[in-house]
Amino acid sequence: MQVNMDLTKQNQALQNVVHEVGEVAGYLWQRGWAERNAGNISVNISTLIMNAPEDPRALSHHKLDKPYPGLKNLCFLVSGAEKRMRDLARSPLENMLIIMMDREGKGYYLINTDEAVAQEFRPTSELPAHLGIHNMIAERGSTEKVVMHTHANELIALTQISEFCKQEKLNNVLMNMHPETSFYIPAGVGFVPYTTPGSEAIAIETINVLQHHAIAIWEKHGVFAIGERVLETFDLIDILAKSARIYFMVKSSGREPEGLPGNS
């Protein structure tokens, strides 16, 4: 599949973002967090698009099931449906789409591909969750531009233990295993009980959690994180996964983790 490169070849800032997405996609695959086509990434690149078409109505338009009024005319780099992170790492633009929201936030236009490709190449099935989160960010006026979803094994494993399917208990173990966790994630994590992936219900619950946290852990499924840059967003998940690994390492030795001094 050949993807139109016009939007990126003269835009170094956008090229840098695409490179970061590819780099992080490789990390997700190498850590075993991205089996088959698992995981998805979106980035608000509106401030980086300098030569977008003046009249996007001439392009392929796709109506959404609900409006996202905070995203009117904004542009996003979005991973494609059924695309593997290992392939995205090798060829980011061949496994992602650039979409432009319409003037009402009720649909989007494809702006880096042609009509023939558009018939088969769709954004991630988690697009409603991504757009809902970006819409929440826009409405509150904060600076996060990245939404990342992956299946971090260590965090999934924690939520296979009923004790940690409660937000307070989950935070207690994660914040007590490694000092970097509370330093870089001072608000802790939010917890989303198991809900059908790709549903409106899980999107709403995730948005509610991310109002107060940079990380939402989905029970027995994975994690959603938001951040200002792609690499920094990955770092948040990586730090949490290390805390979970430390917990399991101590438990596997037959000992009970002590936790950090001074932490309850």
Q: Which residues form the catalytic set? A: 126
CA distance 240 to 184: 10
Cross-strand bridge partners of residue 190: 216
d(CA 176, CA 10): 47
H/E stretch holding 77 reads: strand 75-79
Q: In what order do the strands lie in the sheet with 222-227?
A: 61-63, 107-110, 96-101, 75-79, 40-44, 146-150, 222-227, 215-218, 190-192
What is the DSSP secondary-structure string of 196-231?
-TT-HHHHHHHHHHHTT-SEEEETTTEEEEEESSHH
The token duo for 156 is 């999934």
Give the H or E element holding residue 41.
strand 40-44
215 touches 240 (CB < 8 A): yes
Residue from 161, 179, 185 nearest 251 by CA: 161
**First CA to last CA across the chain, in angstroms?**
54
